[in-house]
Structure 1
Amino acid sequence: MEYAMSLDDLELQIERTSRLVVAAIFVVPFSYLIWFVCAGQVVSDNTSDWGTFGDFVGGVLNPLIAFFAFYWLTKSIRIQKEELSETKTALQEASVSQKDQAELTFRTLKVQALNSQLEYINTRILTERAYINQLLQQAQKHGLKYTVITKDAENKKLEDILPPLNQEILDLSNQQKDLLQQVQNITSQVSGTPKSGAPS
Structure 2
Amino acid sequence: MGYLALDLSKTSTGWAAWSEGWEKPRYGHWVLGSDYTSRGGVFAKLHQNMMDLHTVICPIEYLFAEEPINPAQLQGGTTINTLRLASGLSAHAESFAHALGVRRFQEFNISSWRGDFIGKISSNEAKANARRAKKAGDQRASARGELKALTMERCRQLGLSPRKDDEGDAIGILTYGLLVSGITPPWLLEETLRAPLMGAAK
Normalising by structure 2, report the TM-score.
0.19
Which structure has more RCO (C-alpha within 8 Å, separation ≥ 6)? 2
Compare the two structures and name the one with the higher helix fraction: 1
